[in-house]
Each structure stands twice: as C-alpha cells, then as structure tokens.
Amino acid sequence: METISNTLFWISNGLLVPVIVLLLLFFLRAILLAGGFFGEFYQRMKLQKQFAETLENITPENIDGLLQQLPSAGNSPLLRSLSKLSAHRDDDAYCEHLLANYEVEAEKELGRSRTFIKLGPMLGLMGTLIPMGPALVGLAQGDISSMAYNMQVAFATTVVGLVIAAVGIITLQVKQRWYAREMNDLEYLYKVISRQTAEKE
C-alpha cells in the first residue's frame, strides 16, 4: 500500500509543472480574448445602433436601398453574412445553408469561452491540491518555509484559474446575446428578402 501511495504522490507532484504551464498559457489566452472582446464590443455597439434603425424601417420595397446604407462588411460576421444573403437571394438552399453556417460559427466562437469556464477552475483546483501534499509533509517535518512556499503556489494557481473562468463567463454571456440577436435579425431579413423576390415574380 505504501508503494502505491508513493507512486501516486510522485505522479501528482510530476503534474504540477505541466498544470502551471497550462494555467499560464490559458491566462495569456484569456487576456487576449478579453482585449479582443472589448474591441469587438465597441464596434458592435456602433453597428447595432445603425442596424436597429435599419430594421425598424425595412420593407420588401426599400430593402435594397437600406442595405446599401449599411457600412461595408469589414470584420463584422453579421454584415458579411447579410451581404452574401442579399447576393444569393434567389437561391433558397444557399441562404438556408448560410444561416446554418452562421449558427455553427457562433457556437465555435462561444466554445472558446466555454473552454475557459471549464478548464480554468479545473486546472486551478489541480494546482491547489498538488502542492498541498508537500506542504503537509513540510508541516510534519517542521519545515515551515517549504510549507509556506507550497501554500503560496496553491493559492496563486487558484486565483489564476478563477480569473480565467471569470473572463470566460463574462464573454460567454455577452456573446450569447450578440449571436442570438444577430441570428434573429438574419432570419428576419431573409424572410423580407424572400418576400421581395416572390413579389417580383
């Protein structure tokens, strides 16, 4: 039994460095995600105001003119999809495929935030529990400095893991609202475009 316990102890201690490295990598990615999120938030706020006004006044008769007043597609997935939707208005299969792909891409983007939410606390917990073993050994041997160092590592990894999860939660909640609204807008515009095409026929 002692051999098994020692083996598990060695394996656990051997995982500490990989866990810390992964935590640091995820922390850097979380910072990049947060930075990109705030830039995207600012762009979407400006676009959404103009886009909402367009939706309020749109009809099958004036849809072409109003769509031309929107900004160029740029980096906005919504405007790129809308441009393709307008260009292939006569192809129902393509338009439905485009809407389905937009939903898939939205889920892919949301998956990044979900990864941080799940793996951040998981790695943080591992980084907390692994040093606890050596810390208890140090306490039993009267090595207070060793115990203090291991406890410092344990608490630091917990904090980093929670920060990663917090970034994931905030970005996920906001992006879910973004994509739900945009998907609803695209479906509405697709129906308006379809009505325009049917009336011309």
Residue 158, pLDDT score: 93
Residue 41 has which token pair? 């938030």
Q: How far apart are CA 130 and CA 63, in angstroms?
A: 61
Q: How far apart are CA 61 and CA 49, in angstroms?
A: 22
Cβ(81)–Cβ(147) under 8 Å?
Answer: no
Residue 118, pLDDT score: 94
Q: What is the pLDDT along the chain (201 residues), one digit of tens a residue?
A: 777 777 877 887 888 899 999 999 999 999 999 998 988 888 888 777 777 776 676 666 666 666 666 665 456 777 788 777 777 777 778 888 888 888 898 999 899 999 999 999 999 999 998 888 888 778 788 878 888 888 898 999 999 999 999 999 999 999 999 999 888 888 888 887 777 665 555
- In this structure, what DSSP letter does residue 36 have? H
Residue 93 has which token pair? 């299969």
* Length of the chain in terms of residues written: 201
Cβ(32)–Cβ(164) under 8 Å?
Answer: no
Q: How far apart are CA 140 and CA 117, in angstroms?
A: 36
Cβ(120)–Cβ(165) under 8 Å?
Answer: yes
Sign of the alpha-carbon torsion through 169, 171, 174, 177: negative
Residue 74, pLDDT score: 53
DSSP 157-174: HHHHHHHHHHHHHHHHHH
Whose structure tokens read 């400095």? Answer: 145
Q: How far apart are CA 107 and CA 112, in angstroms?
A: 9
Whose structure tokens read 């996920």? Answer: 172
Closest CA to 130 of 35, 41, 13, 38: 13
Residue 70, pLDDT score: 63
Residue 174, pLDDT score: 93
